[in-house]
Structure 1
Amino acid sequence: MQHRSFGEGPPVSLFTLGTMRALQAPDQMLTVLRAALTAGVNHLETAPAYGPAESFLGDALAQLQSEGVQPEGHGWVITTKLLPGLTLDEGQAALKASLERLGINRLDNLAIHGLNLDSHLDWALHGEGARLIDWALNSGTVGQVGFSSHGSNALIHQAIDSQRFRFCCLHLHLLDPTRMPLAQLALQQTMGVLAISPADKGGRLQAPSGQLVEDCRPFQPLELAYRYLLAAGISTLSVGAQTATDLELAHALGQSDGPLQTEESRAIERLDQQRRQRLGHDLCGQCRACLPCPNAVPIPDLLRLRNLALGHELIEFASERYNLIGRAGHWWETVDADACQSCGDCLPRCPHGLAIPELLADTHQRLAAAPRRRLWG
């Protein structure tokens, strides 16, 4: 598998093994790790928040080390995370515990896990987090520090511009490219960029709707999504594998780091055209000119789910995401479309003349359902 630079750390494979799904038993993690090695993956992403992931991964790494097998070159490149808000003492203890569970003495990459609020960024730049980052780097415990974020584009932009971080983990998707300019900004500053869950969070592309399959022909939706990100220069794409077969496509695309081929570009253009045709004048272009809403309704984010539900029949995915609203803390939106009071404040700002209150009401009617539990946390 091809490798790309990742900030100031060792180069990483085009695909990263995310460990938040191989948690049923230690043997499952070992099986998935062997498959990652076979596929050419050298980058592993984990976190204490992923239940037993670090412990399972540490055991699997120890087993492979006893067998004398590891990726060529630097060996395994490991990223784990710490939640923001810890004191210096708490952060030091948490990081040392992670190293112990992983069975390593030094961590290649430490990410601040969920830099989602202004207070989180202030903690990392000026508060206890800044002291923690300095200690981790100056003590040699950590090679470089980055962040993951589910926060606003403005917050992510500020974090990138701070020059405090050497990599970032962002939601970057074929069907939601709104954060691609942020990724390009980070790459221009020689930061590493990891695409978080381009399969599952990108539209459950590992189990796509029949309509989306037709829309992406002759490519698989996930194949097209992976190639879109790789062609854009994204450093590495995470694969949250549960079984060895979940890594087969990553293995097949391990050398596919070049620009989009003509047929791929045409398929992406057709995908966009199909969505526009089905939504017609109700398509939200995600320009965000409608914001701010007096009732804090995240209008573009909600209408994006409607775009996907009607544009490609991604009803299950859109409903799942919609019903996490208000139930995932700062990791996701907190206000749903039912909070719209039809005040009309947004209407004159929309350059496409969308009937936004009506579309929000339709979104809520289509997608609201019984809540589901998040995968972790």
Structure 2
Amino acid sequence: MQYRRFGKTELSMPVFSCGGMRYQQTWDDAPLDVVEAENQRNLEATIVRALELGITHIETARGYGTSERQLGQILPALREQRPSRGGPDGLIVQTKVAPLRDADEFRRQVLDSLDRLKMERVDLLGLHGINTHELLWWAIRPGGCLEVARQLQAEGRVGHVGFSTHGATDLIVDAINAEPFGGFDYVNLHWYYINQWNGPAVEAATRRDLGVFIISPSDKGGMLYRPSERLVELCQPLHPIVFNCLFCLNRPEIHTLSLGASQPSDFDLQVSSLAHLHEAHAVIGPIVERLHAALVEAVGAEHADRFREGLPAWDAEKNAGYINTHVVLWLRQLALAYDMIEYGQMRYNLLGNGGHWFPGLSAAHLDTITEERFAKAYGASPFADQIVGWLRETHELLGGAEIKRLSAS
């Protein structure tokens, strides 16, 4: 395993983290009584395998169903064997709790999460899902959740305080640059080959010396456990997962990639990428060129790189019917260039069902919107005359059954 300094936390972070959202018994907030023995054995085997590989960062959240409670059956003993002293051998435990309007309730939930984990202290506490400016305000306002988190830090219950986000880039940068109560120490965000929009947020985090944790690069980054044949072909001689890991880790300001393992073997492909990390730039260069050439061939050179220009935010006053046009057109590109139909369907049909975690609507109601409204929404785009047709094409290609977030299923 390789390790990187996790920003101002000074923790020695493995470049892969063991995410805790896929091996638990259920997404329901249920007691341990519902956990089957085989599921618990699999969870424990997954954690043991992670540690064997040098993956010393175990990450979970209060919102991951039974994950915290199940980890509480194994982590205390592992903590005794591997006390967190800042070195690469120490166990780093992270949980996340959503910011709340009621900061006292937030404190209660953090302490309850510690009880579930059977731990007196966690090394990293994340404010989970700062996806809107309202949630950011609940965090950073006087007497808010960040102030409570700093109080818990002073009490020895929390090591470092960060946040996770699925929000827009501008919001993430605002959160990174927040000053109250010392601001945040690290950020969990999305950034990988198929979605590099948050590059400015990564740069802002680097300037402020925040730890940078990449969320779900192998699943949200393209369902790479089940890649399309076209993507496999374009990424040769690497598996798409290995390519994506190298693409991310080739940037030294990226400190760790989350692996949401559901079983011990799920680490194998990602960890195999470490053998190429010393030559990552040379190895991924030809693949990046092929992927971009395939995109240009599928959608045209101008649209490949400029499709987001002039588009309103999904919640902007002038937007057409709250359609998340940025996301819809992005999924169209992925489907046409890389045959990423399954991924596109999963993400597209989440629009309208994902709340602030995946906001805005799909193009299902396209025919109810007037031409005048479209002209107002897309008039600033260099592709104004084509966007409605692209939206319709995407809905025909990807529209289908309603899909819910994992935590709502």
Matched, 1:129 2:137: no
Distance 1:116 1:259, change over 3 A: farther
Structure 1 residue 36 displacement after superposition? 0.3
Structure 2 residue runs without a partner (length 5+): 26-38, 314-318
Partner of 1:315: 341
The 5 A counterparts of 1:155-174 are: 155-163=171-179, 164-174=183-193
Give the Cα separation in 1 of the matches to 2:79 and 2:125.
22
Partner of 2:31: none
What SS does the corresponding residue of 1:202 show, helix, strand or coil?
A: coil
Partner of 2:357: 331
Partner of 1:301: 327
Partner of 1:2: 2
Partner of 1:22: 23
Give the Cα separation in 2 of the matches to 1:158 and 1:52.
32
Choose from 212, 217, 220 the match for 1:201.
220
Give the Cα separation in 1 of the matches to 2:287 and 2:362.
33
What SS does the corresponding residue of 1:81 show, helix, strand or coil?
A: strand
1:286-336: CA deviations, max 9, x gaps?
434222424332212110001111110000110011111111211112321
Partner of 1:350: 381
Give the Cα separation in 1 of the matches to 2:141 and 2:83.
39
What SS does the corresponding residue of 2:364 show, helix, strand or coil?
A: helix
Q: Which amino acid aligns with 2:116?
A: R
Give the Cα separation in 2 of the matches to 1:274 and 1:209.
14
Choose from 131, 135, 147 the match for 1:116.
131
TM-score (norm 1): 0.93
Partner of 1:32: 46
Q: Which moved more, 1:94-103 or 1:152-161?
A: 94-103
What SS does the corresponding residue of 2:197 show, helix, strand or coil?
A: helix
Give the Cα separation in 2 of the matches to 1:70 and 1:207.
37
Contact 1:18 1:238 in 2 (8 A): yes
Choose from 291, 304, 310 the match for 1:289.
310
Partner of 1:263: 283
Distance 1:69 1:75, change over 3 A: closer
Structure 1 residue runs without a partner (length 5+): none
TM-score (norm 2): 0.86
Choose from 72, 82, 90 the match for 2:97.
82
What SS does the corresponding residue of 2:137 show, helix, strand or coil?
A: helix
Q: Which moved more, 1:352-361 or 1:14-23?
A: 352-361
Q: How many residues align?
A: 376
Give the Cα separation in 1 of the matches to 2:14 and 2:393.
43
Give the Cα separation in 2 of the matches to 1:368 and 1:284.
24
Distance 1:136 1:254, change over 3 A: farther
Distance 1:353 1:119, change over 3 A: closer
Give the Cα separation in 2 of the matches to 1:255 and 1:195.
20
1:38-66: CA deviations, max 9, x gaps?
11101111011101111111212245468
Cα RMSD, aligned residues only: 2.1
Q: Which moved more, 1:172-181 or 1:71-80?
A: 71-80
Contact 1:305 1:318 in 2 (8 A): yes
Over the matched positions of the two proteins, sequence identity in percent amounts to 31
Q: Which moved more, 1:303-312 or 1:262-271?
A: 262-271
What SS does the corresponding residue of 2:292 show, helix, strand or coil?
A: helix
